[in-house]
Amino acid sequence: ATTTMQAYRASLLHFHADPAFNDDAHAWHEDGLLLIEDGRVKAAGDYAKLACMLPDGVTPVDYRGMVITPGFIDTHLHFPQTDMIASPSPGLLPWLETYTFPTERRFEDPAHARSTAEFFLDELLRCGTTTAVVYCTVHPQSVDAFFEVSEARNLRMVAGKVLMDRHCPDFLRDVEGGVGDSAALIEKWHKRGRQLYAITPRFAPTSTDAQLHATGELAAAYPDTFIQTHVSENKDECKWVGELHPQARSYLDVYERFGLMRPRALFGHCIWLDDDDFARMAHTGSAAAVCPTSNLFLGSGLFDFERADRAGALLSLGTDVGAGTSFSMLQTMNEAYKVARLKGSYLKAERMFYLATLGAARAMGLEGTIGSFAPGAEADFIVLDPKATPLMARRTAQLASLEELLFALALLGDDRSIKATYSNGKQVHAR
């Protein structure tokens, strides 16, 4: 069989450990070469060392002056909420009632779901996000539409049907088949090409105990699927869950009692968790998806990075579009940094890039597949332009360290900083 080799020359950055716990967490090759064979990473290192591996006739694409990193991974967002991003509301619960539910109703229509999925995936790729963990709506056809569009582009995506059978409008309520529909969607889509399924109970208040119980059984029957839900986002929501589940020790404990904490379970927000909750996150191998633009937008609260790190919980970053205000993981880092400052802690830029790449892959149990340039990893990568705007060019003309470069990219960068996006070795966006 013939193989196809591609090569890219640029500065290379990727991670093999968490910078919060390890002084030697990253690999940085100022003049680097990334070698791709058949859509997978063959080697990543110094140009001077690897140039000899270039086969005759393969000329590296010259991205000198740019930084190549693994594609960003966004572990929490809602594709049906694309059209309602930046909708004003005083907090989570009125926002759901006023904007979210009516918007999600439209995904009953497969044509609307398809065209929205196309736009949504374009936007992710423009922002350098190559993998996302995505909520669809309660309609199974919204999941088919999303995966059909993602599969046609051969993207590594995770998505699932929202499960919801109470405290929601009738037009979005699972009547009986919610969990059965989810099982059929798992059989159809999980591990088909690069598509992966996430069992998706919206959040505790919108499922009956019967639905949560059946959802836990489904998660046990398909242990290599993902689980995604929301937890402890908003104080009114937490109070409500306390009233609905007086026997539970905490909001998070509701999920644990129904068998919904395990590896590959991703919990959005995690703002009001206590030390015991974070210990359960770490113990069960569950992961937090931290969503700062959303939490600041809705006034939900400030994620406590130090508390989470004390417990050693798995962490990742999510945009949470449409409550999140940007599809850009760089903008998400910017807000995460400021949230950490307000909580008296400090996030290094290096850590934020880790959380958006290898950290997320670890949170998802996909280390070695995405999120780094380990040999054999899927060639999902991005080309970052540190001089994308006049201001960025001016700022990055004088840098004392790699940390300063990454910090400038995180604080000033957005979709304009993404020169190109590659998925499985193929260019899927360029500007």
Query: Which residues bind to Zn ion, rule: CB under 5 A?
Result: 268, 320
The correct pick among 123, 174, 320, 415 for binding ligand GUN (CB under 6 A) is: 320
Single-letter amino acid code for the residue at 170:
D
Tokens of 118: 């196309």
SS3 labels along 338-364: HHHHHCCCCCCHHHHHHHCCHHHHHHC
d(CA 59, CA 168) in angstroms, rounded, equals 57
**Which CB, 146 or 422, lies closer to ligand GUN?**
146
Question: Phi and psi dihedrals of 376, rounded to 5?
Answer: 95, -15
Q: Does position 289 bind ligand GUN by CB under 6 A?
A: no
d(CA 111, CA 68) in angstroms, rounded, equals 36
Residue 369 binds which of Zn ion, ligand GUN, none (CB < 5-8 A, kind-dependent): none
d(CA 73, CA 222) in angstroms, rounded, equals 23
Q: How many CA atoms, within 13 angstroms, populate the side-chain half-sphere of residue 381?
A: 31
DSSP class of residue 161 equals P
Question: Phi and psi dihedrals of 288, rounded to 5?
Answer: -95, 140
- Which residue is closest to Zn ion by CB? 320
Q: Does position 126 bind ligand GUN by CB under 6 A?
A: no
d(CA 133, CA 230) in angstroms, rounded, equals 13
Alpha helices in 258-401 (DSSP H): 275-284, 292-297, 305-311, 329-342, 349-355, 358-363, 390-396
Q: Does position 138 bind ligand GUN by CB under 6 A?
A: no
Q: Does position 92 bind ligand GUN by CB under 6 A?
A: yes
Count of residues of this chain found to bind ligand GUN when the rule CB under 6 A is applied? 11
**Which CB, 15 or 267, lies closer to Zn ion?**
267
Residue 408 binds which of Zn ion, ligand GUN, none (CB < 5-8 A, kind-dependent): none
Build a one-symbol-per-residue string for 28-67: x at contacts with ligand GUN by CB under 6 A, - elsewhere: ----------------------------------------
**Which CB, 79 or 278, lies closer to Zn ion?**
79
Residue 138 binds which of ligand GUN, Zn ion, none (CB < 5-8 A, kind-dependent): none
- List CB contacts of 299: < 8 A, sequence separation 6 or more: 90, 91
Q: Does position 202 bind ligand GUN by CB under 6 A?
A: yes
Q: Does position 161 bind ligand GUN by CB under 6 A?
A: no
d(CA 126, CA 431) in angstroms, rounded, equals 8
**Which CB, 10 or 96, lies closer to ligand GUN?**
96
Single-letter amino acid code for the residue at 412:
L
Q: Does position 174 bind ligand GUN by CB under 6 A?
A: no
Specify the stretch interacting with ligand GUN by CB under 6 A; choose among 92-100, 139-147, 167-175, 331-339: 92-100
The CB-of-203 to ligand GUN minimum distance in angstroms stands at 4
The CB-of-417 to Zn ion minimum distance in angstroms stands at 25
**Do residues 157 and 195 make contact, with C-beta atoms less than 8 angstroms apart?**
yes
Q: Does position 255 bind ligand GUN by CB under 6 A?
A: no
The CB-of-268 to Zn ion minimum distance in angstroms stands at 5
The correct pick among 78, 194, 351, 395 for binding ligand GUN (CB under 6 A) is: 78
CB atoms within 10 A of CB 176: 9
CA neighbor of 78 nearest in space, from 99, 58, 61, 59: 99
Residue 202 binds which of ligand GUN, Zn ion, none (CB < 5-8 A, kind-dependent): ligand GUN
Helix axes 209-221, 178-189, angle to 10 degrees: 20
**Which CB, 16 or 112, lies closer to ligand GUN?**
112
Residue 335 binds which of ligand GUN, Zn ion, none (CB < 5-8 A, kind-dependent): none
**Do residues 110 and 141 make contact, with C-beta atoms less than 8 angstroms apart?**
yes
The CB-of-348 to Zn ion minimum distance in angstroms stands at 26
**What's the chain's Rg over C-alpha atoms?**
21
The correct pick among 131, 211, 232, 294 for binding ligand GUN (CB under 6 A) is: 294
Q: Does position 100 bind ligand GUN by CB under 6 A?
A: yes
Residue 406 binds which of ligand GUN, Zn ion, none (CB < 5-8 A, kind-dependent): none
Site residues (vs ligand GUN, CB under 6 A): 78, 92, 96, 100, 202-203, 230, 233, 294, 320, 323
